[in-house]
Structure 1
């Protein structure tokens, strides 16, 4: 089943949420929603009962889903939304894929936590997507998540959560100094948290002292494999969030980092440089316990 959305009105639906809501009577068969270029000012929710959806844009840079809630925005009940309800795109379904779209939280810097995408799915795939925001841009709630050739920007904890997530050939863009890229909350006993494969870290002019991660929860796991890091990355690499006990339980790892921000000798003593044999285990099919997202 294919349905179309266009902000200009030359499609099945003008609003993306209306297209999604229409699927309640479509049964469980996979659905492709084709989105024509345009700016869609909507807060989008993919409900838990939704069938497998492919959200397919025509042009990433011209197909923009945008909203501007933040943690302090008042909800319908008159209470602040908080971080977890601030998302522009909220994916709660078991199976979801998005390609060639930009997802933006336009709340702006200094407004606090403001999520662009909250992904709480069983299996989710983002290909050639841009995730734009400042603090808490991408909230990876749970499940298995795959990000391929994506651009993700932010300043503080802009990739955070408990999911097992692979970032494959993605660009991570640091927007301000003394920030943090990841804030993983990997559950205890989970082998893989965040794995960055062949990614690139860039930054705005003058940005420096950005940490690769800090542990939101005690058993955070983050691995950067063959990542090119610019000079914005802090020499020590990792931060303990002011809780030294988390140095004992967090697993922060690198292999073959390169670039001016990749000084292995300067990293904190409680992080690890993986051997070639250890890094070879960081294969997508292994990380995802037999699931491979190609073609998903």
Structure 2
């Protein structure tokens, strides 16, 4: 296994552990840093600190370059107390600017162990391209800022995409691992126009998986929109769940447009969700959703 980190080609250095490479970045550096990762199993818990410059984690092979750890909410920390959800991330990103490409990020805690985050993303602007995010409950935490996921594979069972960020999922695959689960648990702030927007994505389920919900509102003003999504039979016809709080039916913003497949039951969705018109759906452009920022080339 080999990790190469460089801000400039002439300044390349090599490391065997990813956190070691990140920690070697000089304090105060402003230039973008590329960390190239050879295929291998990297068993470590990694943090990108808030002070880091723009970083690109560039894996050589998505399926063969695996960052993995297995903390869950019940794991005891150094202080002897359970970690809770937000300290379980295999990868935790706090930096203002971050990109990951061609890598697998996994929380291997396993089903039934509770909240166990693979990627904890609390960045200003974050991009994930061709990344696999593997876990069960709470696989991906989107804490804040603007986030873009392109051609990613994301799997889980309960609330496996959750948080307050505005995030675009562009041509991603969402895979449901067990019945009666939930894909999203958005906590979109009331004053944010967009929460999670899925564009041209595919939803699949494991063999025999049924009655999965598209989402439930972690906070009252959750916003989730599925635009031109291929949905298999793992999704329940009613589509959305109110988390046992009927008052959130009046504030949650759940939308679909042109869903296809066995799970695209527009006429059977809960009455408090919406089917967008073609005119409304046309406004769901990446640059508009992300408030003027387009992540191409970022």
Scaled by the length of structure 1, what TM-score is found? 0.97
Q: Deviations for 1:82-129, whole angstroms, at most 9, x for unmatched residues?
A: 000000000000000000000000000000000000000000000000
Q: Give the alignment partner of residue 170 of structure 2, picking from 140, 145, 168.
A: 168
Q: Give the alignment partner of residue 120 of structure 2, picking from 101, 118, 121.
A: 118
Distance 2:289 2:28 in 1: 33
Displacement, 1:26?
A: 6.3
Q: How does 1:43-54 map to 2 (within 5 A)?
A: 43-54=45-56
Q: Deviations for 1:202-226, whole angstroms, at most 9, x for unmatched residues?
A: 0100000000000000000000000
Structure 1's unaligned 5+ residue stretches are 6-10
Displacement, 1:27?
A: 1.1
Q: What is residue 207 of structure 1 aligned with on the other side?
A: 209
Displacement, 1:24?
A: 3.4
Contact 2:204 2:234 in 1 (8 A): yes
Aligned residue for 2:21, secondary structure, equals helix
Distance 1:12 1:207 in 2: 44
Distance 1:34 1:145 in 2: 22
Q: What is residue 34 of structure 2 aligned with on the other side?
A: 32
Q: What is residue 179 of structure 1 aligned with on the other side?
A: 181
Distance 1:27 1:285 in 2: 29
Q: Give the alignment partner of residue 108 of structure 1, picking from 95, 107, 110.
A: 110
Distance 1:150 1:167 in 2: 8
Q: What is residue 4 of structure 2 aligned with on the other side?
A: 4
Q: What is residue 188 of structure 1 aligned with on the other side?
A: 190
Distance 2:105 2:119 in 1: 7
Q: Give the alignment partner of residue 131 of structure 1, picking from 130, 133, 147.
A: 133
Q: What is residue 257 of structure 1 aligned with on the other side?
A: 259
Q: How does 1:217-232 map to 2 (within 5 A)?
A: 217-232=219-234
Displacement, 1:189?
A: 1.1
Displacement, 1:28?
A: 1.1
Aligned residue for 1:218, secondary structure, equals coil
Q: How does 1:12-27 map to 2 (within 5 A)?
A: 12-25=14-27, 27=29
Q: What is residue 249 of structure 2 aligned with on the other side?
A: 247
Q: Deviations for 1:208-252, whole angstroms, at most 9, x for unmatched residues?
A: 000000000000000000000000000000000000000000000
Contact 2:122 2:143 in 1 (8 A): yes
Distance 1:237 1:25 in 2: 48
Scaled by the length of structure 2, what TM-score is found? 0.96
Displacement, 1:277?
A: 0.2
Distance 1:146 1:158 in 2: 16
Q: Deviations for 1:255-288, whole angstroms, at most 9, x for unmatched residues?
A: 0000000010000000000000000000000001
Aligned residue for 2:218, secondary structure, equals coil
Distance 1:24 1:259 in 2: 50
Deviation beyond 4 Å, 4+ runs, structure 1: none
Distance 2:65 2:167 in 1: 24
Q: Give the alignment partner of residue 266 of structure 1, picking from 265, 268, 272.
A: 268
Distance 1:215 1:23 in 2: 39
Q: How does 1:147-166 map to 2 (within 5 A)?
A: 147-166=149-168
Q: Aligned pairs, how many?
A: 289
Aligned residue for 2:287, secondary structure, equals helix
